[in-house]
Structure 1
Amino acid sequence: MKKLSLLTSALMVAAAVSFTVPAMAQVTLTDADRARIEERKSRKTQLPGERVGRGVTKAFELYNEEKVDEALKVLLEIRGGNDFDNAFLARFIGNLYAQKDPKQAIKYLEQATKPDVLSFADQAGSLKLVADLQSMENMHRDAIKNYESWLRFTGENDADVYLRIANAYYQLQDYQKVLVPIDNAIRYAREPNKQHYMLKMGALYESKNYPKTVETVETMVQLFPEERQFWVYLGNFYTLVENYEKSLSALQIAYNNGYLESESELKLIGQMYANNNIPYKAATLYEKYLKSGKIKKDRTMLTAIASNFQAAREFGKAAQYYGELAALTNEADAYRRQGFAYMSIQRYNDAIKAFEASLARESSNAGRVHMSMVDAYLSQGKLREAFASLQQAKRDSATARQANSYENYIREKARVKGITL
C-alpha cells in the first residue's frame, strides 16, 4: 500500500515525464557485419600445438594448486610455433597475471587479441577483460577503445558494457560523452537499473544541465519510488531551476514517508516552506527538530525560527526566539527585533526592556531604537518617558527630523493633561 501511494505521489510530481529514451548511437549492424560475426562464430576451432598444449595443461594443474607464480614460470618459458599458439599462450598468461599484475596482464591480453585468431568466445572475453583491467588502472581512454572493440566484434548491445564506457568517460570528466553510452545502457537493460540513472544524473549535473538533471531525477522517483535519496535529490535539483513549488512537493512526499533524516534535509524542507510563503510551517518544523536535537541550535536557526514566526504574525513566539537569539549572541539587533515583536502584541514594558538591552550593546541604531521607545511609552500614556526618549532620538541625525515632528505633539498632549515635561 505504501509503494502504491509513493508511486502515485511520484506521478503527481512529474506527470509530464515520458519514459521514452531518445535514439542514441549504438551498435548498428549491416548485413556484412552480421555475416562477418556469424563467420567468426562458426570458424573451425583451432587447437594449440603439442608443446603449447602440454605447457598449458601443466600450468593449469599448478594454478589449481594455487601455485600461480609456478604456473606463470612454465608458460613464460614456452615459445609458440604460429600466431594461434602465441595468442593462445598470451591469453593464458594474461589471465594469470590479471590476479597479481594488471599492467602485465594488459600487455599479454593485447598480444592475444591483436591477430584475432582466438575462438570467438575467447577473443570476446579477452577484449572485455583487458578493458576491465585498463579501467582498474585508470587507463580509461584505452578501456573505452577496447569496450568499443568488443561491441563491434560481438555485435551485441550489452547494457553492462555501455555502462562501463559511460563510467570511463565520467572518470575522465568528459561528462557530455557519458550521455550516449549511458542512454544505451538504460535502453538495453533488462530492467531499470539505479546505477544507470545515478550516472546519468551525475553527468548532467556536472555539465550544469540542470533542466535535464531534473527530468532524469523525475524519472528516477517514478521508477524507484521507495529510494529515499532520490526524493531528496529531486527536491534539491528543483531549487537549481528555481521551481520552489515542485521542490516543496517532492520534499513533502519524502518527509511524509520518513525519508528526510539529516539536519540539512530537514533544513531544506523548512527553507522551501519559507520560499513558498508558508512561514508558520517553516517555523514550527524548525522548532520541532530544534527541540528534538536533530537541528543544531545556533544563530542561523534561531534567526530563521524567529523571523518565520514573525512573518506568520505569531509575534509572541517570534519574541521568544529573538530572546533566545539575544541570549546566545548578545547582539543588539536581536534585542531590537524582540522589542518590535513585543510591540506587535502590545507588551510595551517587555518591549522597552528589550530596547534598553539593545541600546546597552550598540549605538549605531540608537536613534531608531529610541523612536521605538517613544512609541511604546506613548502607547502607555507615559509622556515624560516618551519625551525623554525623544530627546535622545533628536541627537541621531538619522532620526532627528522624525523626532522633531513628534515633539510638538507630545508637548501639546502634556499641556492638555497638565503634565510638566
Structure 2
Amino acid sequence: MKKFKTLSSALIILTALGVAIAPVSAAVQPDMAKVEERKARKTQIVGERVGKVLVKAFELYNEEKLDEAIAILLEAKSSNAFDTATLNRFLGNLYATKDEKQAIKYLTLAVAPDELTFNDQAGSLKLLADMLLQDKQYQKAIKAYESWIMFTGEQNSDAYMRIANAYYLMNQYDKVLAPADDAIRFSPKPIEGPYQLKMAALYETKRYKELITVVETMVQLFPENKQFWVYLGNFYTLTEEFSKSLSTLQLAYSQGYLEKDSEVRMLAQMYANNNIPYKAAVTMEKHMKSGLVKRDKTNLNFIASNYQSAREFLKAAEYYGEVAKLTNDADAYRRQGSAYSAVQRYNEAIAAYDKALSMNVDKPSGVYMSLVDAYFYQQKYREAYAALMNAKKDPGMSRQVRGWESYIKDKAKQKGISL
C-alpha cells in the first residue's frame, strides 16, 4: 500500500485544485480593511535611469538573452526604495527561469520593504512562495503563501492546495487536512487535487474510516476517474468491509475500469473473500486466457482451489494439473488426485497420486491413504491393502490404518481375493 506515497512532489504540485463544500472558516483570515488600504495606495513610477535599464533588460529578455538582461539589472543601483524593489523584482522574475535560489534571494529583497505596487507586490509574494516550494523549503513556502493571502485578501484554492502539499511533503499529515479543505471550499468547481491529498494523508495516518468517506465522495464527484474506484474497493478491505469492496469493484468492472492485472486479481480475491468461489475462479480464468493475468503458479492455484471450493472438481483437477506441469510440484499432483477422487474418476486420481509419490511428496502416508480410497471403491482390494501397508509405516496413521485394515480384509474375503 506504500504506493500511495507517490501522491507527493511532482504529482501533487502539478495537480489542479479544489472542490466546493467546506469547513466553517478558512485557515488564514486577512484583514480586509488593510487590504483595501494597500489597493488604494498611490501608484509610484520608477525614475528615468532605472526605467531605461528595465526597458533594456526587457528587450534582451525578449531576444532570449537572459544572462545579458540579468547582468545589466545587477549593475543598476538606486537610492530610491521603490526603484530598488522594482529592480529586485525583475531580477527575481528572470532568475525564476534558471536559478531558484537566486530567484528566492531577489524576490525576498523585493517584497521586504513593501514598496511595490499592489499587483507587483502580490505577484512577487506568490512567485516567492512557488520558488520556495520548488526549492523544498516547505515551511518557508507555507509562510509565504499565507503572507500572500493576508496581503491580497484572496482566499485562493491554489494557495491552500500548495500549503497542504507542503505539509504532506514534510510528512506532517495531520496538518494537510485543514488547508486541503480550504482548497476544496474556495475552488469554483470540483477538481481532484485536494481530495487526493486528503486521501494520501488519511492513509498515512491510518484513519481508514475517514479515508473511505473521502474516497466515496471522490467517486461521486469524479466517476470517470477509474483509479478512484480501485482505491475505494481496496480501502474497504482495510476496515474488513468485504461486501462493499466487492460491490465497488463489480461496478468498476462492469464499466470497464479494471484494466490491470492487479485490479482483476483484486476483484477475483473479493469474490473468494465473499464466499463466491465460482465467480472468483471464472473471473481469473477469463483474464488469464486473455493474457491480462499471468499464467503462473499463484494464479493457477487460485483458480484451482476456488473451482474446488465451488465443487467444480474436474475444472479444479485441470488447473492443479497445469500447476504440476508448470512447477513439478508434487503437492499439486496430490491435489489433482483429490479433485478427481471427488468425482469418482479413480483411474485419473490414482495416476496423480502415483506421480506425487514418485516426486517425494510431503507426508506420503496421507497420499497412500488417498490411494486406499481410490482402489477400494474400484474394488481393487489387493492394491488398496498394499497402499494401506505403506501408510502403516507412519505411526501417526495407526488409527486410520486399523479402521481400514479389517474392513478391507473382510471385503476381500467376501470376494475370494487373497491379500
Q: Which moved more, 1:178-187 or 1:206-215?
A: 206-215
Q: What does residue range 226-241 of structure 1 map to in structure 2 within 5 Å? A: 226-241=224-239
Q: What does residue range 131-146 of structure 1 map to in structure 2 within 5 Å? A: 131-146=129-144
Structure 1 alignment gaps of length 5 or more: 1-18
d(CA) in 1 for partners of 2:290, 2:99: 53
One-letter amino acid matched to 2:259 = E
**Residue 277 (str. 1) matches residue 275 (str. 2):** yes
Task: Pick one of 323, 326, 336 that aligns with 1:325.
Answer: 323
Q: Indicate the residue corresponding to 1:110 in structure 2.
A: 108
SS in 1 for 2:396: coil
Q: Indicate the residue corresponding to 2:148 in structure 1.
A: 150
CA contact (8 A) 1:178 1:200 kept: yes
Distance 1:139 1:349, change over 3 A: same
Task: Pick one of 41, 53, 56 that aligns with 1:55.
Answer: 53
Q: What does residue range 17-416 of structure 1 map to in structure 2 within 5 Å? A: 20-23=21-24, 25-29=26-30, 33-362=31-360, 364-416=362-414
d(CA) in 1 for partners of 2:147, 2:362: 73
Q: Structure 1 residue 24: deviation in Å?
A: 5.3
CA contact (8 A) 1:94 1:105 kept: yes
Q: Structure 1 residue 88: deviation in Å?
A: 1.7
Task: Provide runs of 4+ in structure 1 moved above 6 Å.
Answer: none
Q: Structure 1 residue 117: deviation in Å?
A: 1.5
Distance 1:24 1:301, change over 3 A: farther
CA contact (8 A) 2:104 2:131 kept: yes
CA deviation vs aligned residue, 1:250-286 (integer Å, no higher than 9, x gap): 1111111111111111111000000000000010111
Q: Percent identity?
A: 59
One-letter amino acid matched to 1:26 = A
CA contact (8 A) 1:80 1:89 kept: no
d(CA) in 2 for partners of 1:61, 1:410: 105
> RMSD of aligned C-alpha atoms?
1.5
Structure ranking higher on relative contact order (CA contacts 8 Å, 6+ apart): 2
SS in 1 for 2:395: coil
Q: Structure 1 residue 96: deviation in Å?
A: 1.8
Q: Structure 1 residue 40: deviation in Å?
A: 0.7
Q: Indicate the residue corresponding to 2:17 in structure 1.
A: none
d(CA) in 1 for partners of 2:53, 2:404: 109
Q: Structure 1 residue 20: deviation in Å?
A: 4.9
SS in 1 for 2:216: helix
CA contact (8 A) 2:23 2:182 kept: no
d(CA) in 2 for partners of 1:363, 1:51: 93
One-letter amino acid matched to 2:221 = L
d(CA) in 1 for partners of 2:293, 2:92: 55
CA deviation vs aligned residue, 1:186-242 (integer Å, no higher than 9, x gap): 111000011221122112212222222211111110001111111111111111221
One-letter amino acid matched to 1:134 = L
CA contact (8 A) 1:236 1:247 kept: yes
CA contact (8 A) 2:21 2:184 kept: no
d(CA) in 1 for partners of 2:378, 2:63: 98
One-letter amino acid matched to 1:27 = V
Give the TM-score, by structure 2 length. Answer: 0.92
Q: Structure 1 residue 156: deviation in Å?
A: 1.4
CA contact (8 A) 2:57 2:73 kept: yes
Q: Indicate the residue corresponding to 2:16 in structure 1.
A: none
d(CA) in 1 for partners of 2:282, 2:305: 12
Q: Indicate the residue corresponding to 1:7 in structure 2.
A: none
d(CA) in 1 for partners of 2:361, 2:75: 90
